[in-house]
Every structure is written in C-alpha cells, then in structure tokens.
Structure 1
Amino acid sequence: MPGQIVIINGTSGSGKSTAAELFQKRADDYWLLYGIDHFLAGTQPAQYGHHGPKSHEGIYAEAADPALPNGPLRWRFGPKGVQAFATLHEWLAAASRQGCNIIFDHLLLTDPPVLEDCVRRLAGLPVLLVTLKPPFEVLESRVAKRAMDKKLPVDILGDDAVARIVDRLSRLRPWFYQSIYANTVSDIEIDTSQHDPISVCEMIEQRLAEGPGLAFDRLRRTQDPAAAA
C-alpha cells in the first residue's frame, strides 16, 4: 500500500511549515516531514539558487514587467532548476511507494509549472492538497516581523547577502501570491488569519479520516483530458 502524501501549499508567511511540523508531532502514525525551505536552503547548491552567481542555470529572479526593472520580480527556471523540482517530486513519489506517509510544505507555482509537474509525477498515489491562504496584507505583516536568522554562505553570496535577499524577497512576494494561488483546486483551503496551527492540523486530520483527496485527480484531468478515460 502506498503511503499518504499531504502537501501543504502556500506562500511564505502562510503558516505551512509550522502546520506541517505540528502535524507530524501530533501524529500517532509514522510520518516523514520535508519541505520547500529544506530543499531550497539545504539541498540545492546555494550558487544555483535565486541569490547565487549561477542562478540562471538553476532558479533566478527577473523583473515581472521588463518595463519596470526595479519593480516586482518573478521566478524563472534554468535547466538545473527544472531538474531539481522534477527530482524533488520523484522523491515524494518514492517515499509513498515505499509505504511511508509524508507531509510536505510546498510552493505550488503555476508558472513555472511546479504544480503541473507535481501532479503528473504523483499520479496513482494518494495525495491530499491543503492550501493555506491568508489575505496578502496579513502575509506582508507576518514576513515583516521575521528576522533573517539563517546562516548564509557569504563566501558564495557576498557580504551584503542579507540586504539583497530581503530586497529580492519583498519584490518577489506579490508574484508568489499570484502564481501560487492562481490554482483554486484544493481538498482544503484555509485562511490562517482565522485558524491557528492546531485548528489547521485538526482540519487536515478530519479530512484524511473522510477518505482520499480528490484535488490532484481533478487537476490531472484538467491537464490531460485523456487521463479521465
């Protein structure tokens, strides 16, 4: 029997990492825990991330509107970025096929097609898709209160890494919100300005008790109508 996959989707500040960690702590069953922050900060080489010198081969940020070079940014993927996310989704699939339950917090972007790739690679596996979506102004307030407490590889990113990263992330945030929440198909959508992490976990647990998630199947049929046959 494949293991259950729970994907918690949302932008930075939505509460997805906190909810995933709390869910694992509350669970009686065996659940693996992984997330997009683990992947981007701890697995992918820093020089290929969107703050690194080889970002155009991996994940890079560019002006969302070419006419506004100092305005909002968006992500693009180079060949290593495409390869990395494909590998990440294959890891999720492999965990489930080994019979392990896994909860994963993600950035299911619609462009680049992270969501599409994830849906395709997890075909035939039990997936519950949870979207955490507080209002944009709540996200802005939460992120503004965060401290940059991660140890940064300044030998790769430069001594001014913190200032550049804070600026880049603030300019990426509007696009992240748009790209991640462009998909309106989920098994559960939760406004985390109205529900605390414990409530989020209780809602996920209740939905799992009701039966398999349906969102990925619906998205798969949208991507490939032949899959419905």
Structure 2
Amino acid sequence: MTLGQIVVVNGTSGSGKSTTCELFQKTREDYWLLYGIDHFTAQTLPAKFGHHGPLAAQGIEAVPVDPADPDGPLRWRFGPEGTKAFAALHEWMAATSRQGLNVVFDHLLMSDPPVLQDLVARTEGLPVLLVTLKPPFEVLERRVAERRMDKKIPTDLLGEDAAAKIIDRLTRLRPWFYEEVYRNAVSDLTIDTSVHGPEAVCAMISARLAQGPGTAFDELRAA
C-alpha cells in the first residue's frame, strides 16, 4: 500500500497554523484528514488533567520557568499520562500514513518536553513534510491579544473565576512557547505569516509537496 503523506505545521498560538491546516484540507482536491494540537488538548484530553486542572501534575502541568520566581513565566511539564497521550497521538499520525491516508496536523513541536523527538522517532520511514510558521513575536502578541481567550473554558470543573486565571496562565506561557517551539531550526519550509496570508501559505505547501518528500525529519534523525 502507498503510504499517506503527513504534513506537520509547527508554530505557536497566533502563527496561523490552525487556519492554514483548515484551509489546506478544504482547498485540496485529494483526500486529507485534519487534526491538531488544539483539538487534542481542548477536546481529547480530560480537562482535569490539563494544565488548568486539579490533576495537571499527572497530565500536562504549567510550572514556573524559574522555581524562585513563582509569579513569572511558565513552562509545560508532562506527567506520566501526558507523556503517554502524546505518544499515542504520534502513533495515530503514523498509523494514518500506514493506512495510505494523508493527514495535515498543526502542532507545538517542543524539544523539552520531548514532543519533537517523539514524533521524529515514531514516523521513521514515513513521508513527513515539516512546515514552520514563524511571524515576529510582536505580531503573535498582537494577534493573541485580539482573540477571545475564554471560549470553551470548563468553569464547572475549574470555577467561575477560571477565565481570568487561565488567561493569566496562557500569557505567562507565551514567551516560553515562542522560545521552545522555534528552538529547532530544521524545517522543510519556514514561512513568515506576517508577510504571507493563508492562501499563499497553502500554495507554498502544495508546491513543496510537488517537489517530493520532505527531508527535515531525516536530517533530525541523522543529527
């Protein structure tokens, strides 16, 4: 069976990765599955094990970057359930390709926790195109500031004041996300989405796919 193509679109909140993936699937003539990190963390994972929940230490926990500064920037730390969940997510992506299905996925490819390393290992031998969307940090900050951040917040689980707490936590996570998600400079395509709109980005991805398989994951394995 012919292997399906995997397209991983990496970038932080506000980079345009979800919009790009949705438009890519909609405008392609061939068959593509669509999934992403927001679907995964907000709808697949149980909220009480998320970084806003009471059992976050077992799943995905937001902890201070500097333990001596508890009110400063935050970072993610995975507990045992969070580690297994991301492994299962990546196995699903690999299984999709092995079934001959294409999948486009928006992701947060952090190196610590080792999300990037896990995905690279589990997709060995499969065709993966790695696309990085990286506008300037100030553009990301402006885009995020213009968004509604209180949608789908489980106030029944976390309390009525959850929105303010979560918005504060996300604000404190953003500097670390920017540094961590873009730490890896190896990519098949790196696009500044402050310059290129979603239609142009999708066209660039399709044009790169027409040139043949991506090589970024092979380069990372070799390194």
TM-score normalised over the length of structure 2? 0.98
Give distance in 2, aligned partners of 1:153 and 1:167. 16
Aligned residue number for residue 204 of structure 2: 203
Does the residue aligned with 1:99 lie in a helix, a strand or coil? coil
- Counterpart of 1:129 in structure 2 is 130
Offset, 1:161: 1.1
CA contact (8 A) 2:9 2:104 kept: yes
Whole-Å separation in 2 of the counterparts to 1:127 and 1:29: 17
> d(CA) in 2 for partners of 1:95 and 1:101?
7
**TM alignment of 1:51-66, pairs within 5 A:** 51-66=52-67
Indicate the residue corresponding to 1:175 in structure 2: 176
| Kept in 1: contact 2:17–2:106 (CA 8 A) | yes
Report the more deviating stretch, 142-151 or 129-138: 142-151
1:144-188: CA deviation from partner (whole Å, max 9, x where unpaired): 000135222212111111101100000000000000000000000
- 2:83 matched to which residue of 1? 82
Task: Give the aligned partner of residue 29 of structure 1.
Answer: 30
Amino acid of the residue matched to residue 183 of structure 1? N
- Name the structure 2 match of 1:226: none
Equivalent residue for 2:51? Answer: 50
CA–CA separation in structure 2 for the residues paired with 1:70 and 1:149: 21
How far apart are 1:67 and its partner, in Å? Answer: 1.8
Pairing of 1:140-179 with structure 2 (within 5 A): 140-179=141-180
Moved over 4 A (4+): none
Could you tell me which residue of structure 2 aligns to residue 227 of structure 1? none
Letter in 1 for 2:187: S
d(CA) in 1 for partners of 2:152, 2:77: 25
- In percent, how many aligned pairs have the same letter? 68
Match of 1:186, SS? coil
Read off the aligned partner of 2:74 and give its amino acid letter.
L
* Distance in 1 between residues matched to 2:69 and 2:149, nearest whole Å: 27
Aligned positions, number: 222
Cα distance between partner residues in 1 of 2:98 and 2:11: 25
Query: Corresponding residue for 2:6?
Result: 5
Q: Which runs of 5+ in 2 are unaligned?
A: none
Cα distance in 1 between the residues matched to 2:152 and 2:171: 19
**One-letter amino acid of the structure 1 residue matched with residue 73 of structure 2:** P
- Measured in 2, the distance between the counterparts of 1:2 and 1:221 equals 22
Query: In the alignment, which residue of structure 1 is the partner of 2:111?
Result: 110
Alignment pair present for 1:218 and 2:219: yes
The CA distance in 2 between the partners of 1:177 and 1:196, in whole Å, is 20
- The equivalent residue for 1:138 is 139
Distance 1:12 1:173 in 2: 8
Offset of residue 28 of structure 1: 0.3
- Structure 1 gap segments, 5+ residues each: 223-229
The one-letter code of the counterpart of 2:186 is: V
CA distance in 1, matches of 2:48, 2:71: 23
Partner of 1:39: 40
Separation of aligned partners in 2, 1:189 and 1:75: 24
Coordinate RMSD, CA, aligned: 0.7
SS of 1:39's equivalent in the other structure is helix
| Secondary structure of 1:71's aligned partner | coil
Return the alpha-carbon distance in structure 1 between the equivalents of residues 150 and 24 of structure 2.
Answer: 24
Letter in 2 for 1:62: V
Aligned-partner Cα distance in 1 for 2:149–2:117:
31
| Range moving further from structure 2, 61-70 or 43-52 | 61-70
